[in-house]
Structure 1
Amino acid sequence: MLKGDKVGLRARHEDDIPILRAELYNDVVNSARADGQPWRPMTAESKDPRLVVDEKDQQTVPFSVVELAGGTLLGTASLWGIDSHHRSAHIGMGLLPDSRGKGYGTDAVAALCHYGFAVRGLQRLQIETLSDNAAMLRSAERNGFVREGVLRSSAWVLGEFLDEVILGLLVQDWKPDS
């Protein structure tokens, strides 16, 4: 398990899936804002590709985020779009509603940076988020990410186009203890 100050990133367990599905992906508003695809209902038996780990997929590393103090499931985090030639990847994260606003997101981003830079030897990490996602913007910037651009009206979310912010962090700018 990768450990931050408050959270751990561990392998996805089968019993995480119903909780994540119920609290993250069955929430239409949250799912529509977090996913680049339109929301659609899924049965409890479906093999939801957002949650079921594909061991053959070398471009995505999914984690479950857990509280270090008690092991409580807090959400999901991943490195995705891993490009081993250019040594870059994207960060994705979703916290359960009860886990938001407690500093877990900032700590999870820090743990993902450690995994990307120290474990995987990447050169660059990138985050794309909606411009009104203040929590993710704050978590990224507290970990040294720099706003690199805005994709104007690039995300169709629940009947309107929203801007997306692109943030990047290079290994030479990473401060692992901050």
Structure 2
Amino acid sequence: MVSEPSTVTLRSRTDDDHDVLFQLAADLDTWEERGPDSPAPLTREAYDARVAAAASDSGAAVRFVVDVDGRAVGSISLFGFDQLARHAEIGIALIAEARGRGIGTIAITQLVEFAFVRCNLRRVHLQAIESNVGAIRAYQKAGFELEGRQREHAWVRGHYEDIVLMGLLRSEWSARQVTA
């Protein structure tokens, strides 16, 4: 059980995190919310191979573990970097007991700051299925604006859903920092 967070941090993955991150990756209940692949059981061997492949492709993404008071509760990343236009996509996944507690909003806010300050990005963007209202609310709290939708773009648990497209510009983020 995850208690109310006192400290949410983003950090590198350690060997101790693999069980929690495997649990998250293998969660069939949220499979469609995380990608376009067909839902299927994920073996530990397949997961370990995917982690190893991702580690060898260091330029493709920046990945962090979401840590609450010393315990891994999810992962968050920047990926799909466009070096010319200076933007990337953000993605987050939390274990069930960490959702709805403000942890996602804090982690997203931290990664957005990393994207603009450390990676010199001009824009970050994301996609979410329309029914994932908790995630959309967290993105809005972090400053993301609705930019559009792809109608009936995702097959989610037996029906088609819209994909909501959201983005945040560095200039918008900077303005929020002045008022905060």
| TM-score (structure 2 length as normaliser) | 0.87
Partner of 2:71: 72
Partner of 1:137: 136
Q: What displacement does 1:140 show?
A: 1.0
Describe how 1:1-178 pairs up with structure 2 within 5 A. 6-22=7-23, 24-46=24-46, 47-49=48-50, 51-52=51-52, 53-67=54-68, 70-174=69-173, 175-176=176-177, 178=180
Q: What displacement does 1:44 show?
A: 1.8
CA contact (8 A) 1:60 1:79 kept: yes
CA contact (8 A) 2:33 2:128 kept: no
Worse-superposed segment, 166-175 or 29-38: 29-38
Q: Distance in 1 between matches of 2:15 and 2:162?
A: 35
Q: What displacement does 1:170 show?
A: 0.4
Name the Cα RMSD after superposition: 1.7
Q: SS at 2:165's partner residue?
A: strand
1:2-40 C-alpha deviation (Å, 9 max, x unpaired): xxx831111111221222212x22221212222221122
1:54-88 C-alpha deviation (Å, 9 max, x unpaired): 24331211111001xx2111111000111111100
Q: Distance in 2 between matches of 1:131 and 1:90?
A: 17
Q: What displacement does 1:43 show?
A: 2.2
User: Matched residue pairs, number?
Assistant: 170
Q: What displacement does 1:153 show?
A: 0.3
Calculate percent identity across the aligned residue pairs.
31
In structure 2, runs of 5+ residues without a counterpart are 1-5
- Equivalent residue letter for 1:13: T
Structure (1/2) with the larger helix percentage: 2
1:78-114 C-alpha deviation (Å, 9 max, x unpaired): 0011111110001100111111111001001101101
121 and 105 in structure 1: CA distance in 2 versus 1, 3 angstrom threshold: same
Q: SS at 1:82's partner residue?
A: strand
Q: SS at 1:45's partner residue?
A: helix
- Equivalent residue letter for 1:120: C
Q: What displacement does 1:167 show?
A: 0.6
In structure 1, runs of 5+ residues without a counterpart are none
CA contact (8 A) 1:65 1:77 kept: yes
- Equivalent residue letter for 1:87: R
